[in-house]
Structure 1
Amino acid sequence: MDCIWRRHYDPEVPAEVDIPDVTLPELLYRSASDFPDNPAIIFLGHTLSYRRLKQSVWQAAAGLARLGFKPGQRLAMILPNCPQTVITYYATLHLGGIIVMLNPLAAPREILDQIQRTEADTVVALDHVAPKVEEVRKALNLKHLIIASLADYLPVPWKWLYNFRARRKGQQVGPRPGTGQMSFQDLLTDHAPPALAASSSDVAILQHTGGTTGLPKAAALTHRNLVSNVAQINAWLPHCQRGGERVLAVLPYFHVFGMTASMNWPINLAGAILLLPRFDAAQVLKTIHQRRPTVFPAAPTIFIALINHPHLRRYDLSSLWGCISGSAPLPQDVQEQFEALTKGRIIEGYGLTETSPVTHLNPIAGKRRPGSIGLPFPNTSCRIVDAESGLIDLPPGDVGELLLRGPQVMAEYWQNPEETALALRHGWFYTGDLARMDEDGFFYIVDRKKDIIIASGYNIYPREVEEVLHQHPAVQDAVAFGVPDAYRGETVMAVVVPKPGMPVTAPDLFDFCRQRLAVYKTPKIIEFRRELPKTAVGKVLRRELRAEAEAKLKGAD
């Protein structure tokens, strides 16, 4: 397929970008050398300069080395957005280690599964999350459990208040005595760290995903993959001022979109990261008003929440000149309303965990297409092929499977050659997404070839929800799928067939799922039936159920 999309690049955007042969920590060290006194992280009133951030990374690297951490070892982080996340991330990579990002909302069963799959032997967890790790610790081969607290990077009055409220809620504060847990602050040491032990070809991140099949697996992203995506974003936004941008970081760093667009990219720019531990609409509006960010990567649900906030008009959002929207489709009315408030521009894009993640974006200055994910990045090739054979190129306008190739595409699925062979074929990454390209090279996602549910930007795999429902003693059969939700994009619905003579209620199943799944994966709607519609070979007609549910919900509106 000819790269016809390049004709619609903004004038300053090149067709190809030189990818530097460096590691992720070297991006940080270069910024610290060029702008040592610039703010790197502004976190709830506490500021770390680039000099201080680099020093903290080296202290953490020295501390991990003294614990015996070696190149190639896996370190799991179970943290929200906080300074310790950034410090641990670059310190581990400095030592040639591999990061495994886990969602702090993950249930103990999910923590166990992801740590076992990647064989991580060191964990850095938030103190409030530590009890969930302890619950499964006996089944893990952990060498070290390091406990971080948000209070460590709060100004003194806020620190006291934070700890007081946490204790009142019965939450763990800091490491628990007698458990072998170690304080993150004790990890930091003034000893000199070892020399940089990573190379650009080394795996940096193991990021969990369901991929095209829905089965949990870890995408192995190298330093080069992630550095490439940073370089591509730089090229796409050529007017960014190095050392002069302020990036609002609300997207979670355990999500690859947040990791790249809200951490690696602004650090490469020597920008100030306005770091928030979680999304709260009022806090985000206040931060924009007071701290004046210039760039805001976010998901559509965030923009929806902001434009619908009751006190929106009290805040000045005019500092934002650019917003990047990803993780789910961006409604056109939301785009128009938010742009009217900021006088800036939201550009919608597309990407996947396996592609570090961004592969497409709409032009920041040029013409956009409503409903389009935009144009492929520099150095990125795309094809639309027939969904049956996956080999025949289709003309513009026809719907087929989207294939990708570029330096941001993962190396493999970690220790999973079968799934790797399915996804990486004939030199292309098969996304599993159905798409079309118009005559000008703008791409549009039409449907998910996979049955993935995307709620608030999170990927939810129906099979995982169904497996939990099937564990309930009163459930005979169950199917899960996504239905439209005005705020979250999609939400999880389940249709359940109870076992004869074993009564069960929706609240029973809500509670059962909440104990075994992250909150965002728990079904929000449960319907009971005597049987599920199936094909002649016994396959559940998931799309038929989804269509019925959507019709009912639409009728209820």
Structure 2
Amino acid sequence: MSVGLCAPVGAVVNEVGTNCCGFLSSLLRQSSPMFATPLTVTIPSVELLRIPCFLRRWNCVLQAGGDSCSRGAGGCADAVYGLLPALQRPALGAARARRPRAGPGGKDLSRGKGGLPALPAASARGKAGRRPGPPERNPEPERPKGGPDMDRPWFQSYAQGIPHSLDYERTPMTQALARTAREFPDQAALIFIDSKITYRQLDGMANRFANALIDMGVKPGDRVAMLMPNMPQLVAAVYGAWRAGAVVVMNNPLYTDVELEYQFNNSGSTHLVAIDLICPRMIALRPKTRIQNLVVAHIRDHLKFPKKQLLPIVAKDKHRKIPPTPNVHEWTDLLKKYPPTDPRVPVDFDGLACLQYTGGTTGVSKGVMLTHANLSKNVQQIVAWFPGFNKGEINHLGVLPIFHSFGLTCCMNICVWMGWTDVLIPRPEPQAILEAIHKHKINFFPAVPTMYVGVLNHPEASKFDLTSIKGCFSGAAPLPVEVIKEFEAKTGSQICEGYGLSETSPVATTNPYRGKTKVGSIGL
């Protein structure tokens, strides 16, 4: 039996990396415990080394062939699911049914003259000698009675109290920030090193920056690029750009100039907010792009005395003074110059909010178009899936990069929606993570497997109190069983593994919190 997986596997690997391995493995498990005949899986040559050996356990043969697929992830998922009928055991049974029929003397009755397949008898051809069409499908079994959800068995694995569907608020994240600022004005919104920024202050910073962008000529639909690690300016700049009606373009500050030049031009970015350490490069790169104005953000901008004054002296590698340059603005100067009043630019809930560039593992990075509705509804889904984390009561660890879709939703937007305190970590190193959990009594800790492994393997991990953690969400790669058990034993917190991709804003599935979970599963 041979099944060509060139397009779906290539694209899924392209979009979600090794996550496709668990995805494809789960599809194979839905078929049969072990194929009776080898299943030949054809995948692109360039992806052959990226598919793990789990296929061998399923009596599959990897066959290279074809080119990289450029289809969208949604279409690829449909394509993979479309293979399921071919992977079911009945197909193998049909193959067995076509074995040669032995007649007298061992003659093969299934072959005609010259060894060609024999035609069916006239009576089997139907009226006017027509050949029969495809065999009729067996009628669908009668669904069990007892409620509208009986044909959706996954609901049985939902944690108690989780709704089966949601009535979504049509509230963009800009309005969510304004609402949270009214409900929790003095609640710490952001903690960065030694500084605390309340929701009232964050709301004002976003308005000031929005007014600055409008004065620079930004109009609704214009692209404003971000190039920073997790720091207060990134959060305020994103919400300020949205309030100016702009589309935010998230970029990785670790990218090379060639990669950034492509993303700036591909997105049509006209304004850029960047950390000072890479601003000299961006000033030199600007003539090759459409960027008109550049805003410089320093790590020291929102620190307290004396760290703010000492950082340029004792940590010279973390500060760079930018000489006066035309159309290059200091972040703090803009906040002082413009008022904290809402510019009241209408925000279309179904309009484009963000261009989220993918990793580009098999080609150039692609800008995923996410609407305000995508971002808002994904946050609402996550909030409903994790009950018990009340508004204004949670300390959240913002260690996932916000320029990535995982961090954008699960580190920034969810905190703004819920009025949580977001402790920003610019460099996700184990020491910094442990110190932040211990010092700020972190309750919610979304991360990737390498971060959990780094925390557990740190030589001084036992010196830090991790028992304040109540919920964890892991994605981007499979989490080893041993890590899950050890982490849950040390913290008492459940780790919920999930799956997502940039196109889904990004969370698509996750194991139930306080419900039935399956190790190695991407959840529901």
Separation in structure 2 between the aligned mates of residue 108 and residue 176 of structure 1, nearest angstrom: 21
Question: What corresponds to 2:343 in structure 1?
Answer: 194
Query: For the structure 1 residues 196 and 117, does the alpha-carbon distance in structure 2 shift closer, same or farther, using more than 3 Å as the test?
Result: same
Q: Given that residues 148 and 174 in structure 1 are in contact (C-alpha distance below 8 angstroms), is that contact kept between their aligned partners in structure 2?
A: no
Which has a greater percent of helix? Answer: 2
Deviation at 1:253, TM superposition (A): 0.3
Structure 1: tracts of 5 or more residues without a match: 376-557
Q: Given that residues 219 and 353 in structure 1 are in contact (C-alpha distance below 8 angstroms), is that contact kept between their aligned partners in structure 2?
A: yes
Question: What corresponds to 1:476 in structure 2?
Answer: none
Task: Choose the corresponding residue for 1:134, options 283, 300, 315.
Answer: 283
Q: Given that residues 398 and 423 in structure 2 are in contact (C-alpha distance below 8 angstroms), is that contact kept between their aligned partners in structure 1?
A: yes
Task: Choose the corresponding residue for 1:8, options 157, 173, 182.
Answer: 157
2:476 matched to 1:319?
no
1:362-420, Cα deviation, whole Å (9 max, x unpaired): 11111211110111xxxxxxxxxxxxxxxxxxxxxxxxxxxxxxxxxxxxxxxxxxxxx
Task: Choose the corresponding residue for 1:185, options 329, 332, 349.
Answer: 332
Where do residues 125-524 of structure 1 align in structure 2 (5 Å cutoff)? Answer: 125-167=274-316, 169=317, 173-188=320-335, 189-190=338-339, 192-209=341-358, 214-375=363-524
Separation in structure 2 between the aligned mates of residue 275 and residue 212 of structure 1, nearest angstrom: 27
Separation in structure 2 between the aligned mates of residue 191 and residue 255 of structure 1, nearest angstrom: 28
1:73-95, Cα deviation, whole Å (9 max, x unpaired): 00000011011000000010111
Question: What corresponds to 1:107 in structure 2?
Answer: 256
1:468-518, Cα deviation, whole Å (9 max, x unpaired): xxxxxxxxxxxxxxxxxxxxxxxxxxxxxxxxxxxxxxxxxxxxxxxxxxx
Question: What corresponds to 1:97 in structure 2?
Answer: 246
Q: Given that residues 36 and 49 in structure 1 are in contact (C-alpha distance below 8 angstroms), is that contact kept between their aligned partners in structure 2?
A: yes
Q: Given that residues 175 and 182 in structure 1 are in contact (C-alpha distance below 8 angstroms), is that contact kept between their aligned partners in structure 2?
A: no
What is the identity, as a one-letter code, of the residue corresponding to 1:163? Answer: P
The two structures, once aligned, show a CA RMSD in angstroms of 1.6
Q: Given that residues 36 and 50 in structure 1 are in contact (C-alpha distance below 8 angstroms), is that contact kept between their aligned partners in structure 2?
A: yes
Deviation at 1:283, TM superposition (A): 1.5
Task: Name the TM-score, length of structure 1 as normaliser.
Answer: 0.65
Separation in structure 2 between the aligned mates of residue 289 and residue 125 of structure 1, nearest angstrom: 30
Query: For the structure 1 residues 109 and 71, does the alpha-carbon distance in structure 2 shift closer, same or farther, using more than 3 Å as the test?
Result: same
Separation in structure 1 between the aligned mates of residue 453 and residue 281 of structure 2, nearest angstrom: 32
1:87-118, Cα deviation, whole Å (9 max, x unpaired): 00001011111000111111111110100000
Q: Given that residues 23 and 223 in structure 1 are in contact (C-alpha distance below 8 angstroms), is that contact kept between their aligned partners in structure 2?
A: yes
Deviation at 1:28, TM superposition (A): 0.8
Instruction: For residue 253 of structure 1, give the secondary structure of its aligned residue in structure 2.
Output: coil
Separation in structure 2 between the aligned mates of residue 259 and residue 42 of structure 1, nearest angstrom: 17
What is the identity, as a one-letter code, of the residue corresponding to 2:332? Answer: Q
Query: For the structure 1 residues 273 and 132, does the alpha-carbon distance in structure 2 shift closer, same or farther, using more than 3 Å as the test?
Result: same
Separation in structure 1 between the aligned mates of residue 303 and residue 426 of structure 2, nearest angstrom: 12
Instruction: For residue 81 of structure 1, give the secondary structure of its aligned residue in structure 2.
Output: coil
Q: Given that residues 246 and 271 in structure 1 are in contact (C-alpha distance below 8 angstroms), is that contact kept between their aligned partners in structure 2?
A: yes
Separation in structure 2 between the aligned mates of residue 246 and residue 184 of structure 1, nearest angstrom: 27
What is the identity, as a one-letter code, of the residue corresponding to 1:332? Answer: V
Question: What corresponds to 2:229 in structure 1?
Answer: 80
Q: Given that residues 247 and 294 in structure 1 are in contact (C-alpha distance below 8 angstroms), is that contact kept between their aligned partners in structure 2?
A: yes
Separation in structure 2 between the aligned mates of residue 41 and residue 216 of structure 1, nearest angstrom: 30
Q: Given that residues 147 and 174 in structure 1 are in contact (C-alpha distance below 8 angstroms), is that contact kept between their aligned partners in structure 2?
A: no
1:408-439, Cα deviation, whole Å (9 max, x unpaired): xxxxxxxxxxxxxxxxxxxxxxxxxxxxxxxx
Separation in structure 2 between the aligned mates of residue 253 and residue 327 of structure 1, nearest angstrom: 14
1:240-270, Cα deviation, whole Å (9 max, x unpaired): 1111011100000001000100110111010
Task: Choose the corresponding residue for 1:40, options 167, 174, 189.
Answer: 189
Separation in structure 2 between the aligned mates of residue 128 and residue 210 of structure 1, nearest angstrom: 23
Q: Given that residues 126 and 148 in structure 1 are in contact (C-alpha distance below 8 angstroms), is that contact kept between their aligned partners in structure 2?
A: yes
What is the identity, as a one-letter code, of the residue corresponding to 1:184? Answer: W
2:212 matched to 1:63?
yes
Deviation at 1:3, TM superposition (A): 3.3
- Structure 1 outlier segments of 4+, above 3 Å: 210-215
Question: What corresponds to 1:477 in structure 2?
Answer: none
Query: For the structure 1 residues 340 and 191, does the alpha-carbon distance in structure 2 shift closer, same or farther, using more than 3 Å as the test?
Result: closer
Separation in structure 2 between the aligned mates of residue 308 and residue 274 of structure 1, nearest angstrom: 22
What is the identity, as a one-letter code, of the residue corresponding to 1:186? Answer: D
Instruction: For residue 47 of structure 1, give the secondary structure of its aligned residue in structure 2.
Output: strand
Q: Given that residues 245 and 347 in structure 2 are in contact (C-alpha distance below 8 angstroms), is that contact kept between their aligned partners in structure 1?
A: yes
Instruction: For residue 199 of structure 1, give the secondary structure of its aligned residue in structure 2.
Output: coil
Q: Given that residues 223 and 270 in structure 2 are in contact (C-alpha distance below 8 angstroms), is that contact kept between their aligned partners in structure 1?
A: yes
Deviation at 1:132, TM superposition (A): 2.2
Separation in structure 1 between the aligned mates of residue 458 and residue 362 of structure 2, nearest angstrom: 38
Separation in structure 1 between the aligned mates of residue 441 and residue 153 of structure 2, nearest angstrom: 38
Deviation at 1:199, TM superposition (A): 1.4
Instruction: For residue 192 of structure 1, give the secondary structure of its aligned residue in structure 2.
Output: coil
1:332-351, Cα deviation, whole Å (9 max, x unpaired): 11111111111111110000
Separation in structure 2 between the aligned mates of residue 166 and residue 182 of structure 1, nearest angstrom: 23
Which has a greater percent of strand? Answer: 1
1:286-309, Cα deviation, whole Å (9 max, x unpaired): 111111010001000000000000
Separation in structure 2 between the aligned mates of residue 45 and residue 337 of structure 1, nearest angstrom: 31
Q: Given that residues 21 and 200 in structure 1 are in contact (C-alpha distance below 8 angstroms), is that contact kept between their aligned partners in structure 2?
A: yes
Question: What corresponds to 1:444 in structure 2?
Answer: none
Separation in structure 1 between the aligned mates of residue 395 and residue 360 of structure 2, nearest angstrom: 33
Separation in structure 2 between the aligned mates of residue 193 and residue 320 of structure 1, nearest angstrom: 36
Separation in structure 1 between the aligned mates of residue 321 and residue 303 of structure 2, nearest angstrom: 14
Deviation at 1:165, TM superposition (A): 4.0
Deviation at 1:192, TM superposition (A): 3.3
What is the identity, as a one-letter code, of the residue corresponding to 1:357? Answer: P
Separation in structure 1 between the aligned mates of residue 484 and residue 321 of structure 2, nearest angstrom: 42
Q: Given that residues 108 and 135 in structure 1 are in contact (C-alpha distance below 8 angstroms), is that contact kept between their aligned partners in structure 2?
A: no
Query: For the structure 1 residues 210 and 55, does the alpha-carbon distance in structure 2 shift closer, same or farther, using more than 3 Å as the test?
Result: closer
Aligned length: 373
Q: Given that residues 252 and 258 in structure 1 are in contact (C-alpha distance below 8 angstroms), is that contact kept between their aligned partners in structure 2?
A: yes
Q: Given that residues 65 and 193 in structure 1 are in contact (C-alpha distance below 8 angstroms), is that contact kept between their aligned partners in structure 2?
A: no
Instruction: Name the % identity.
Output: 38
Deviation at 1:119, TM superposition (A): 0.5
Instruction: For residue 306 of structure 2, give the secondary structure of its aligned residue in structure 1.
Output: helix
Deviation at 1:197, TM superposition (A): 2.3
Task: Choose the corresponding residue for 2:269, options 120, 136, 141.
Answer: 120
Deviation at 1:179, TM superposition (A): 4.9
Separation in structure 2 between the aligned mates of residue 40 and residue 210 of structure 1, nearest angstrom: 29
1:145-175, Cα deviation, whole Å (9 max, x unpaired): 11000100111222223212454x4x76243
